[in-house]
Structure 1
Amino acid sequence: MKQQNISFFNHPLFWIMFAFIGFTILPSKALDYGLFDSTSTEIWDSMGWSTFNLSWLWFLPLLLFPVLPKLIKNDIKLCSYIEITYIIGLFLFVFISAIITKTSLGYSIMILIVSLVALMTNAVANLKLMQGDKFVIASLISIILLIFFFIVYPTISIFIPMFFENGQFVPEQVVTIIQQPYIVRVIGNSLAVSSTVGIISTFFGLAFALYTTRIAKRTAFISKIFSILPIVTPPFVVGLGVTLMLGRSGYVTNFLVEHLGFSSNWLYGFTGIVIAHTLALTPMSFMILEGALKSIHPSVEEAAYTLRSNRYQAFSYIIFPLLKPALANSFLVVVIQSLADFSTPLVLGGSFDVIATQIYFYIAGSQLDYASASTLGTILLAFSLAIFVIQYLWIGNRSYVTVSGKSYRGEVQDLPNGLKTLIIFMLSFWVLFNLVLYGSIFYGSFTVNWGVDYSLTLKNYQLLFGQGFSDGAWPSLIQTVIFAASAAPITALFGLLIAYITVRREFKGKKTLEFLTLLCFAVPGTVAGVSYII
């Protein structure tokens, strides 16, 4: 009985019925307010069978699928190739026709895609590809579709508005936009910020990595806690803490204004963004460099000392060269993240505009300008992809491996005294600054009016959480938790599938799939948002 059920699921008729059931009970066109918040009239109009429309042409070709094996009875391989070609053609027809007619895809189309994936899985399995493992085949097809829909196609679509104005092809407008002095300044601002943050974060990350691996005996946990703490904190919260400390009403700013003659607006702009980004991105650099330092065999240093090198020479000519790929990797990763960040420049940027915030203002501002937003998004994407390609092709293919003839691990050698003192001072400053930063956020939630009245009160929490679940902070908090809880298992599942497919299986195009998967890390969130809107 169980075997019969399994064979029924493998039969094309099951998936054809599954697709038509979806066509019958689910909308074929997207609903503006979702399935549960739309009116009955809106749901009726979105059903594919309510009128004769394009969606009929998407589902009816499935009826020809059971006929294909009967036309070619004796050649299973040829039949499988025809089925695969037929499915790919139907998929492309659905996708291209929806784009041309500007038809939004509803829930029943998701069911159709699932059915097509299942039918293609059976056809590919009949060819004995991937050893005929249907789980692996279905996973690979699903991964390819996800990469296409959520990475490749959105990335390509961002180029389209650059060359069109009011529906007309105007390629010269790209040059006009790029030549604007304001656009040039915004691009320069972004590169200046990201490069500065990359250098500073890598410097701090190296210092903390050296402390945990070469200096600390019992206090390594302190460095690890305060080095990683900002990475679990959203950049927006880091920007808020910096504002409370160093903003116009910050106690540090008040001291600087009264005693050192600083301007009360000194934080907003290049300085504030660099400070906040350094706090948020140094942990990323620390984790990269700590792993690199732990992989360096201590026997290499011992060999240097036996050749009468001092500690400065051993660090400068042995340790530092071995860290070059990790340092470059750290710098490039931080630069990408700094370029892509949107929230921190929005809070601390002031009149200092960067690419990410300017894209947002072009879309959500008073003057809607998709062409300029698309152009800036393309420039931001080009910078990120260039850095990503350099990291992937250049650093990824260079080998900095230490070789020793014995398994003897050796003792980790001390750093030069001057370097140790500098690192301890930097770590102490970092720990103190973070304690004050997070303390300001916590204490500020209990104050009457930050910068004016520091009296303690619980009214802030009562205002946010004391008005029931439908008012105050509860709705946004609940929605945030729901979104995170929904995205986490889906992300973990597909991440596990991608890792399993790319590591444990061999197939043609494996490197391309791996590169496209990692490409989502290089595509800035702002660019992805713009492409989804477009």
Structure 2
Amino acid sequence: MHDRKARRFFRRWRPFGKAWDIWSIVTLISFAFLALFVVYPLLSLLVNSFYDEAGKLTLDHYRDFMQLKYYYQALFNSFKISLLATLFAVMIGLPLAYLSTRYAIRGKGALHILVILSLMSPPFIGAYSWILLLGNNGVVTRLLHSVGIPFTSIYGWQGIVFVFALQFYPHIYLYVSGALRTVDSSLEEAAESLGMPAWRRLFTVTLPLILPTLSAGTLLVFMESFADFGTPMLLGQGYKVMPVLAYEQFVNEMGGNLSMASTVSALMVVCSTAVLFIQRYVSTRRNYATSGMRIVKTRPLSKGMTRLWTAIAFAPVAISLLPQATVIFTSFLKRKGPVFHRGFSLDSYVQIGYKVQKAITNTFSFSLAAMVVIIVMGVAVSYVLVRRASRITAFLDGLIMVPYIIPGTVLGISLIIVYNKPPLILTGTWIILVIAYVVRKISYTVRSSVGILQQLDRSVEEASISLGVPPLKTFVKTTARLMIPGVMSGAIISWVAVINELSTSIVLYHGATATISVSIYSEVFSSNYGTGAALATILSACTILSLLAANWLSKGSKTVI
């Protein structure tokens, strides 16, 4: 009796105004997954921040955060570093984008590729590299001291801002250069014909036209800087920011303060969301649109000016790539313990073969497991978002993007709060790491899959179905195959982000589930720079190869990543 009622209910239920089918099930499974591993953990994190260690309802943690300088100073520090890093990233990325799109400098293709390569290296590896160069006993530090130039080290908030600016300016460059290429030249030409000087045209015509795109780039830089854990932890030396504070409250030597860690994490979520809404308000307050029919042509330069501006364009790119070159070079130096010596050897690589081999295996096995889920779920969800568009699927799209703006430490702490007790204990297992990677990085694949699917004409699917091929088989045999270039390019970006992930891994890993990024962090803190450099080189090599694969797969397709 009950079985018949259940079957009758599902036959009648039409959640999308259509008959119940496989895509309804996909949508429900997606909502269930996000509810279990995004909504429920974050709500539990928020609730947990209102209870003390004895389980009593209280606002003491928020009061302590607002009253004690040790806590609220970390929030001020986070905003200070994020705002300064964003400002300097704009000061580097915006002129570089304008120079490469408006003037005929040499090597634009190489410049574009090198900028992307500098972006793909994780910030904490950049921080580690700058320690080798500008640390207390760094190569450049010793050189400066030898010629009488006073320089302390890169440690402190200035060093954090420096690393962030060089790491994240490519976001500004990529966003702005794309926007500048679509600006209608007639507007700038009209302003020029009215006698407006070039600098004024830039600020009154060009910049307002690209403001929405520029604000999106600055938001991304701010979010990345605000959420990063590795760089402040390596370079801060006591300079507290919110991700570091949340982590230290969670793993305190005296047993940790989970309630205060939850409070700090909840405030980080509030701040990230507030910044997102502010950015959207600023970008939509004024609406500038152009036809894009007349694209601005690059201006020719004299031979001397071409050389000068080319050198100026490549200068910040060369500096931002210096950390990767330093890591690779250092990994081949001879060493005895933590001390480097003259000459080259493979000692560092030999040592990681028996010291942290498990971390390498973990990184690639966990990442591959996550990628299987990301690709399958990303393709299925993107089809629902595009082909079954509705308010429900729009809400699903929003939920998928929520982890994108949440710091990794926050997600890690929230998952531990929920899944460290019955009925489902995942803490300390590899499963919780894979789930966290899927939740954090699936948005790249979804966005690229949506982009490629929007280009595919529905008539191909309709023709297949009209010939009697079932919808699911049509999707697998036809649509999914056509989506492969866009899906794989986005999936490789997800792969790169997963293998480089530190903020989530550092919170969720157990001794046996350490990854390469966690091992690099541990080796640097224990002054084993050679081993750390070898591991970082492996990670950088995987990143570069993945980027080349993504570039090859995306040829001929316009993916949205």
- Counterpart of 1:445 (choices 309, 317, 331) is 331
State the AA in 1 paired with 2:222.
Answer: V
Query: How far does residue 162 in structure 1 lie from its aligned partner after superposition?
Result: 1.8
TM-score by length of 2: 0.67
Gaps of 5+ in 1: 1-63, 71-78, 81-119, 466-470
State the AA in 1 paired with 2:84.
Answer: T
Q: 1:440 to 1:409 in 2, by over 3 A?
A: closer
Aligned runs of 1:376-525 on 2, under 5 Å? 376-392=264-280, 394-395=282-283, 399-403=287-291, 407-409=293-295, 411-413=297-299, 424=310, 426-449=312-335, 453-465=341-353, 471-525=354-408
State the AA in 2 paired with 1:433.
Answer: I
- Aligned residues of 1:208 and 1:223 also touching (Cα < 8 A): no
CA distance in structure 2 between the aligned counterparts of 1:161 and 1:151, rounded to whole angstroms: 15
State the AA in 1 paired with 2:228.
Answer: D
- Aligned residues of 1:464 and 1:474 also touching (Cα < 8 A): yes
CA distance in structure 1 between the aligned counterparts of 2:352 and 2:251, rounded to whole angstroms: 27
Query: How far does residue 362 in structure 1 lie from its aligned partner after superposition?
Result: 1.2
The equivalent residue for 1:111 is none
State the AA in 2 paired with 1:384.
Answer: S
Q: 1:451 to 1:422 in 2, by over 3 A?
A: farther
Q: 1:220 to 1:512 in 2, by over 3 A?
A: same
Q: 1:323 to 1:451 in 2, by over 3 A?
A: farther
Provide, for residues 68-112 of structure 1, a one-character-per-residue CA deviation record: whole Å limited to 9, x for no partner: 269xxxxxxxx52xxxxxxxxxxxxxxxxxxxxxxxxxxxxxxxx
Mean CA deviation greater in 202-211 or 362-371: 202-211
Q: 1:490 to 1:305 in 2, by over 3 A?
A: same
CA distance in structure 1 between the aligned counterparts of 2:291 and 2:198, rounded to whole angstroms: 21
CA distance in structure 1 between the aligned counterparts of 2:296 and 2:86, rounded to whole angstroms: 33
State the AA in 1 paired with 2:390.
Answer: F
Secondary structure in 2 aligned to 1:132? coil
Provide, for residues 155-204 of structure 1, a one-character-per-residue CA deviation record: whole Å limited to 9, x for no partner: 11111222212122223342123311100111111111111111111222
Aligned runs of 1:83-98 on 2, under 5 Å? none
The equivalent residue for 1:113 is none
The equivalent residue for 1:13 is none
CA distance in structure 1 between the aligned counterparts of 2:128 and 2:217, rounded to whole angstroms: 25
1:163 equivalent to 2:100? Answer no
State the AA in 2 paired with 1:343.
Answer: G
Query: How far does residue 532 in structure 1 lie from its aligned partner after superposition?
Result: 0.7
Query: How far does residue 305 in structure 1 lie from its aligned partner after superposition?
Result: 3.0
CA distance in structure 1 between the aligned counterparts of 2:388 and 2:302, rounded to whole angstroms: 47
CA distance in structure 1 between the aligned counterparts of 2:266 and 2:6, rounded to whole angstroms: 47
CA distance in structure 2 between the aligned counterparts of 1:235 and 1:181, rounded to whole angstroms: 28
Q: 1:414 to 1:143 in 2, by over 3 A?
A: farther
1:68 equivalent to 2:9? Answer no
Query: How far does residue 500 in structure 1 lie from its aligned partner after superposition?
Result: 2.6
Query: How far does residue 283 in structure 1 lie from its aligned partner after superposition?
Result: 1.8
1:302 equivalent to 2:189? Answer yes
Percent identity reads 24
CA distance in structure 2 between the aligned counterparts of 1:274 and 1:420, rounded to whole angstroms: 31
State the AA in 2 paired with 1:363.
Answer: F
Secondary structure in 1 aligned to 2:210? helix
CA distance in structure 2 between the aligned counterparts of 1:301 and 1:68, rounded to whole angstroms: 68
Q: 1:128 to 1:434 in 2, by over 3 A?
A: closer
1:332 equivalent to 2:219? Answer yes
CA distance in structure 1 between the aligned counterparts of 2:395 and 2:311, rounded to whole angstroms: 46
The equivalent residue for 2:477 is none
The equivalent residue for 2:178 is 291
CA distance in structure 2 between the aligned counterparts of 1:177 and 1:452, rounded to whole angstroms: 44
Secondary structure in 2 aligned to 1:159? helix
Q: 1:329 to 1:260 in 2, by over 3 A?
A: farther
Secondary structure in 2 aligned to 1:521? helix
CA distance in structure 2 between the aligned counterparts of 1:257 and 1:451, rounded to whole angstroms: 20
Q: 1:253 to 1:299 in 2, by over 3 A?
A: same
- Counterpart of 2:238 (choices 343, 351, 361) is 351
Aligned runs of 1:44-63 on 2, under 5 Å? none
Query: How far does residue 369 in structure 1 lie from its aligned partner after superposition?
Result: 0.6
CA distance in structure 1 between the aligned counterparts of 2:110 and 2:99, rounded to whole angstroms: 10
- Counterpart of 1:280 (choices 167, 175, 178) is 167
CA distance in structure 2 between the aligned counterparts of 1:525 and 1:225, rounded to whole angstroms: 28
Mean CA deviation greater in 387-396 or 439-448: 387-396
CA distance in structure 1 between the aligned counterparts of 2:112 and 2:236, rounded to whole angstroms: 30
Secondary structure in 2 aligned to 1:366? coil
Secondary structure in 2 aligned to 1:448? strand
Gaps of 5+ in 2: 418-561
The equivalent residue for 2:475 is none
Aligned runs of 1:236-255 on 2, under 5 Å? 236-255=124-143
Secondary structure in 2 aligned to 1:164? coil
